[in-house]
Amino acid sequence: FQRRRNAFQLKDRVSGNDAAASEEEKRQRFAVVFSYDGTDFQGFQSQPHGNTVQDTIEHRLERLLQRKVRIFSSGRTDCGVHARGAVFHLDLLPSEVERLQSYNKGSAAEFLLGMFR
């Protein structure tokens, strides 16, 4: 995966200061723009018995966050195809953003950028 500066945009789904809002409602959405060499992958989209880009990303995030993670892509590629400017999004709880920041000693976005180098 290639590293890109400013590849993440943080969007907070909660508007206002609702103190009663559950932690689930306070999830933050990250849009991730990335590139990859698809030579060793069987496409982007998850498959039951395939080595895919989506499965690789989700497994790494699951190890870090210690929960099931699902990413949502804006597109997909076939077996062996490379991509530049591909986009997926995922939602993180504030506590997960803090955990990623503590791993990196910086922002969660910077950590996610470096995670796939």
Q: Which residues are part of the catalytic machinery?
A: 78
The H or E element that residue 104 is part of is helix 94-104
Task: List beta partners, residue 86.
Answer: 34
Q: How far is CA 59 from CA 27, 65, 93, 98, 106, in A?
A: 20, 10, 18, 20, 22
Interatomic CA distance for residues 37 and 42, integer angstroms: 11
